[in-house]
């Protein structure tokens, strides 16, 4: 199997329609042992979703902006496994006033929250897990992205944070490569997840994909994205790092489409 014997940390699972949940499922089907994270009021949802996986994993608490949480997480993983082969960063948040066409009026505090939670957190997670990856002799870090080389309707400061995340990915690839750690971002097309539905104007994204993605795009199928993440966790991408890999039906490569 593709991930036989691998030990993986999967963050960001809330419900079983998420990319992170499907990544956890595919990873288990491919032989990996996993641990999930959740925190706060969402912990109960994460635990419920964990029970729907083929082998219900443990759920550890992680508020990525709380240094104590990260310290406790790494201590648990060190005691549990002693090392780590891969981790999925599926963490993002922007306050309501940082989205929905309010770009010019967003207060700096809200933009900062979007950046810290959605972009800087990838560095936070990578630095916290570095010792565990070193014990494994290297590994793979993957983050979930939505390509923001262009401006999107309504995405606003989350778009800025995602653009920063793409840059963080490249700098982590630079600094962690000597440790044998690959760092990549997977840019997914829009999916009908709880996270997506919380973004005002997300329906504009969905309409655009219908007429432009040459392979087509299924809003209700996160599995193609999950499979790519698992490929990046595996030995089948040994020399790939610093990449933004699109799983979007080819949408990103086409300048214009016919629409529907």
pLDDT tens figures, 8-48:
999 999 999 999 999 999 999 999 999 999 998 899 999 99
The tokens describing 254, both together, are 């086409």
Answer yes or no: 155 catalytic.
yes
What whole-number distance in Å separates Cα of residue 111 and Cα of residue 180?
33
What whole-number distance in Å separates Cα of residue 211 and Cα of residue 114?
31
> Which of 79, 162, 171, 207 does the annotation list as catalytic?
162
Largest CA distance in the chain: 55
pTM: predicted TM-score of the whole model, two decimal places: 0.94
Across the chain, mean pLDDT equals 93
pLDDT in tens, 201-252: 566 677 778 778 999 989 889 999 999 999 999 999 999 999 999 999 999 9
> Which of 79, 123, 155, 207 does the annotation list as catalytic?
155
CB distance 193 to 230 below 8 Å: no
Report the pLDDT value the prediction gives residue 208, as an integer from 0 to 100: 76
C-alpha count within 13 angstroms, C-beta hemisphere, residue 251: 22
pLDDT in tens, 54-112: 999 999 999 999 999 999 999 999 999 999 999 999 999 999 999 999 999 999 999 99
What whole-number distance in Å separates Cα of residue 143 and Cα of residue 122?
7
7-253: CATH number: 3.40.50.720
Q: Looking at residues 154-180, what average pLDDT do you find?
A: 97
Report the pLDDT value the prediction gives residue 260, as an integer from 0 to 100: 47
Residues 6+ apart with CB under 8 A from 233: 3, 6, 8, 27, 32, 85, 86, 140, 142
| Positive or negative torsion for Cα 107, 43, 234, 219 | negative
What whole-number distance in Å separates Cα of residue 69 and Cα of residue 37?
10
What whole-number distance in Å separates Cα of residue 238 and Cα of residue 236?
6
- Reported for 255-259, long-range contacts at CB under 8 A and 24+ positions apart, including other chains, are 256/212, 257/208, 257/211, 257/212, 257/213, 258/211, 258/212, 259/207, 259/210, 259/211, 259/212
């Amino acid at each position: 199997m593709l991930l036989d014997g691998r030990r993986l940390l999967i963050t960001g699972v809330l419900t079983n329609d998420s990319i992170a949940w499907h990544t956890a499922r595919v990873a288990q089907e491919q032989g990996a042992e996993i641990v999930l994270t959740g925190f706060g009021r969402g912990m109960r949802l994460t635990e419920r979703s964990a029970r729907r996986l083929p082998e219900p994993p443990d759920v550890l608490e992680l508020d990525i902006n709380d240094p104590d949480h990260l310290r406790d997480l790494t201590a648990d993983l060190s005691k549990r496994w002693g090392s780590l082969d891969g981790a999925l960063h599926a963490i993002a948040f922007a306050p309501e006033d940082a989205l929905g066409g309010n770009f010019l009026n967003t207060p700096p505090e809200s933009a900062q929250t979007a950046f810290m939670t959605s972009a800087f957190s990838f560095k936070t997670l990578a630095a916290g897990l570095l010792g565990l990856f070193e014990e494994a002799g290297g590994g793979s870090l993957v983050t979930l992205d939505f390509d923001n080389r262009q401006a999107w309707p309504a995405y606003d400061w989350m778009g800025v944070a995602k653009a920063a995340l793409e840059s963080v990915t490249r700098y982590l690839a630079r600094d962690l490569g000597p440790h044998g750690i690959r760092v990549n971002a997977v840019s997914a097309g829009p999916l009908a997840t709880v996270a997506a539905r919380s973004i005002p104007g997300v329906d504009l994204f969905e309409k655009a994909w219908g007429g432009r993605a040459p392979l087509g795009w299924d809003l209700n199928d996160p599995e193609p994205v999950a499979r790519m993440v698992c490929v990046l966790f595996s030995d089948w991408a040994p020399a790939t790092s610093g990449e933004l890999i699109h799983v979007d039906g080819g949408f990103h490569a086409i300048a214009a489409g016919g629409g529907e």
